[in-house]
Amino acid sequence: MVGLMAEATRVATFIFVLATYACTVGALSVAMSALCRTAAATTLVMNIILLGWVLVGGFLVNPTYMPKWISWIRYLSPMSFAFEALAANEMSDQFYEIVLAGFPNLGLIKGDSVLMTLGLDPYHTLRNVGCLVAFYFGCVLLAVVLYALSMVRGGPLRALLDALTCFRRPGSGCGNAALQEEGAASQKQLS
Domain segments of the chain as ranges:
8-151, 154-191
Residue type, 51: L
Query: According to the model, what pLDDT value does residue 169 have?
Result: 46
For residue 85, give the H/E element and its range. Answer: helix 78-91
For residue 108, give the H/E element and its range.
strand 108-110
Q: Is the dihedral of CA 146, 151, 152, 158 positive or negative?
A: positive
pLDDT of residue 70: 83
Q: What is the pLDDT of residues 76-108, one digit of tens each?
A: 999 999 999 988 888 888 787 877 888 888 778
d(CA 37, CA 177): 16
Residue 147 CA to residue 14 CA, distance in Å, equals 32
Query: Residue 178: what pLDDT?
Result: 54
Residue 120's identity, in one-letter code, is L
